[in-house]
Structure 1
Amino acid sequence: MSKKYKKIVNGQIATPYRIINGGQLLFADGKIEELSEGNIDAPDAEIIDAEGHYVSPGFIDIHVHGGGNADFMDDSVDAFCRVANTHAKYGTTAMLPTVLTSTKEAIIRSLQVYEQAQKAVTQGARFLGVHIEGPYLSMEQRGAQDPRYIRDPDPEEYFDILNSSTAIRRWSVAPEKSGALTFGRILCERGILPSIAHTDAIYDDVIRAFEHGYSLATHFYSAMSGVSRRDAYRYGGVVESAFLIDEMDVEIIADGKHLPAELLRLIYKHKGPEHIALITDAMRAAAMPEGTSMLGSLEDGIAVIVEDGVAKLPDRTAFAGSTATADRLVRTMVTQADVPLVDAIRMISATPARIIGVNDVLGSLVQGKQADVVIFDKDIVVRKTIIQGDVVYDREYQSLPA
């Protein structure tokens, strides 16, 4: 069977290091065949005119809970598909569905539904595995995580969870918790990324955690320790530790709410685009009108208020997840943090792909990699989303094709 070629023309193509003006991109059978600064000779190719807009690698969101009024803890295939379809409209082509702190039974149930949903999603963002956030977190830094279920790592429990599914890609843990270091080593042995999250750790804790495989800081600055006093002495927290450990990666919620522009600039200055992943941390209210919503499942979640472009606890004492979409992250980094567009794209594509170990097939527009592409305009409004060579969203029609 002959290949069916598609060619993107008249685009500003983003590589990890530069923009190629007027470039062309050829792909077939879901994979990139060629990228060129000039014409690519493919007379039978279907032409996709980028109309002078930017052509970017697909956005990869490695921390997302929901969107479109659905949450991954709703425990239905329909909810998984709705989240995937919602975020595809905003440029996300691949994601790590994230489950919250809950009971062992609820976590295992979400993993089982994920495995069913992975086969059902045909048009939305593809799933790359599951991210478990909690329940082994600091009570003092719990944020909107449900305190009823926060606990120390329990081998009997986490082995049951680990043995229930091969879908787990990363697990966010407070490394100062009793047993967390051993747990990190076990995760690494299984090819699962341990992340530092919702933590009151100090520098010594972080160093030991890094030595046990904790190489990523979950939603950096949010729900984690900074400089603190203990018995009159000052100690560096997780924030300072991540800056000092050059090799440590960080993910940031660049929604313009969780972190002000000056902190976004500080993180970019010290960690660079090669160690920063942009994440939505989106909950079900993403791409929905503001008002009341739920964090987590509809049956057992936490009521929140969505206002000013972010979800908050009802007493407004803390944020309760973001309502961001991936395009908003890129836009925030460019317009508020003054980050070059090529670096902002790298932080939502190549860097997260490398962090979760899929950079051999995703994250950049390179021959042989999957044809996951986003076309967006100068205002970073998504015009088309292409997943494995198929146009799954076209702004002209304002929907995913049937």
Structure 2
Amino acid sequence: MNSLLIYNGKLIGTTGILADAYLYAEDGVICDIGAGKPMHMDEEAVLINAEGLYISPGFIDMHVHGGGGHDFMDGTVEAFLGVAETHIRYGTTALSPTTLTSTIEALFQTLDAYKAAKEINTKGAQFIGVHLEGPYFAMSQKGAQDPKYIRHPNPEEYEKILAYSDDIVRWSAAPELPGAIAFGKYVRSKGKILALAHTDAVYEEVQVGFDNGYTLATHFYSAMSGITRRNAYRYAGAVEAGYLIDEMDLEIIADGIHVPSPLLRLVFKIKGVDRIALITDAMRAAGMPAGESILGGKQDGTRVIVEDGVAKLMDRSAFAGSVATADRLVRTMMQEGRVSLIDAVCMITATPARIMGLDTKGCLEVGKDADITLFDDDICVAATIVSGEVRYRRDDLNLG
């Protein structure tokens, strides 16, 4: 039996923070939580003296493309492991590898690499299924997606893709495209999460999409229509639809750049903690120095420049994915979004767990997975634990 005891910390619960707390886990599952002197000090367990650090549920990043110089579209096991081992250092215990618009051959190569990597990923953040971003997008909202691969939904193609891999858990597309509703119904019939993204839809088109399964807004505000005019008439766009449809979930890149401070405050004020998931949308330059990088696969990706804390197209005409890490999201949401620590943590733990259907993750309770992140008042990560196993720890963290 493998066991873990963390003590002398501040445990973040769903409604409050438990001081002088301990957490005990066996075989990757939380067995006991309490305050004061731990009951399990004499047992053969890995001991971590938190020394006043926060004991938090592990961060869940449901939309990430890369990090540490790797991108999932590299299509290699090395890339998958490299991304997972990069984000573990910043508190992410679980992540959903996300693709870009590409050829179907490149997509299948990436899906094959995922299948192989998930079996040997013992050092990084846990993989929780693949998110397909594209290729069914509005060309006018392509953002940094490569336009030569953007197209309308084709039943022969998307049925083939979903038949190819059981690892796909989510697909993002523009609901207003010809064939997008039939596509959405098919995706939902296979039990996958369906999200709207890179869309020029007006409110009425989003509502139809929502009624047919498009219940999540991918990187809200980014590559998404707002109020527009058509033939002199004013229409609400996808952003306004995200606010008006109460049951729609939103994910936001809370780096303070993709969604600046006033909009972070606005989205939280309207949607609240239970409908917002914080995501990095990180590309390969996350965790790397500023300078030139590549969005997408190394062989045919798009050259970008990383500056001012964000990746941009070389002509600076659009952002090209973020270089954020999960700790930065929590820190930024607190400082610029002006939310509490509990709420910021909830938006990167409990809310994404609920959206992704991860019943055993997202909070620290008896019977849940022992996915845990330890951090200080500045949200600097000291340790990241996956299923009770310490996969990252800062050198000064006291074991024993």
Provide structure 2 residue ranges, at least 5 long, that are not aligned to the other structure. Answer: none
Q: Deviations over 1:288-312 (max 9, x none)?
A: 0000000000101000000011000
Q: Which amino acid aligns with 2:32?
A: E
Segments ≥4 residues shifted beyond 2 Å: 37-40
State the distance in 2 between where 1:61 and 1:12 align.
23
Confirm or deny: 8 A CA contact 2:59 2:94 kept in the other structure.
yes
Query: Is the 8 Å Cα contact of residues 65 and 284 (structure 1) preserved in structure 2?
Result: yes
> In structure 1, how many angstroms separate the alpha carbons of the residues matched to 2:232 and 2:32?
61
Structure 1 length as normaliser, TM-score? 0.97
Give the aligned partner of residue 98 of structure 2: 98
Structure 1 equivalent of residue 24 of structure 2: 26
Mapped contact 1:17–1:343 kept (Cα < 8 A): no
Tell me the distance in 2 between the aligned counterparts of 1:189 and 1:246: 23
How far apart in 1 are the matches of 2:252 and 2:38? 38
Aligned partner of residue 373 in structure 2, secondary structure: strand
Mapped to 2, the partners of 1:183 and 1:37 lie a distance apart of 51
Equivalent position of 2:241 in the other structure: 241
Q: Which position in structure 2 is the counterpart of 1:37?
A: 35
Shift of 1:329: 0.2
Kept in 2: contact 1:77–1:120 (CA 8 A): no
CA contact (8 A) 1:58 1:373 kept: yes
For 1:9, the equivalent position in structure 2 comes to 7
Corresponding pairs, count: 395
Equivalent residue number for residue 301 of structure 2: 301
Separation in 1, partners of 2:93, 2:363: 12
Q: What does 1:242-391 align with in structure 2 at a 5 Å threshold?
A: 242-358=242-358, 360-391=359-390
Check whether the contact 1:33–1:368 (CA below 8 A) recurs between aligned residues. yes
> 1:397 deviation in Å?
6.8
Q: What is the one-letter code of the residue matched to 1:20?
A: L
Check conservation: 1:310, 1:323, Cα contact below 8 A: yes
1:48-85 deviation line (CA, Å, top 9, x unaligned): 11110111000000000000000001011011000000
TM-score, normalization: structure 2? 0.97
Aligned mates of 1:246, 1:82 — CA distance in 2: 38
Instruction: Give structure 1 stretches of 5+ with no counterpart.
Output: none
Task: Kindly indicate whether the alpha-carbon contact (under 8 Å) linking 1:100 and 1:133 is maintained by their aligned counterparts in 2.
Answer: yes
Amino acid at match of 1:9: Y
Q: What RMSD in Å do the two structures reach over aligned CA positions?
A: 1.0
Match of 1:392 in 2: 391
Contact 2:7–2:38 (CA<8 Å) still a contact in 1? no
Partner SS, residue 214 of structure 2: coil
**1:154 Cα shift?**
0.4
Percent of residue pairs bearing the same amino acid type: 56
2:216 alignment counterpart: 216
Instruction: Please give the alpha-carbon distance, in whole angstroms, between the structure 2 residues aligned to 1:131 and 1:304.
Output: 22
Partner Cα distance (1:325, 1:247) in 2: 27
Contact 2:24 2:30 in 1 (8 A): yes
Distance in structure 2 (CA, Å) of the matches to 1:258 and 1:375: 27
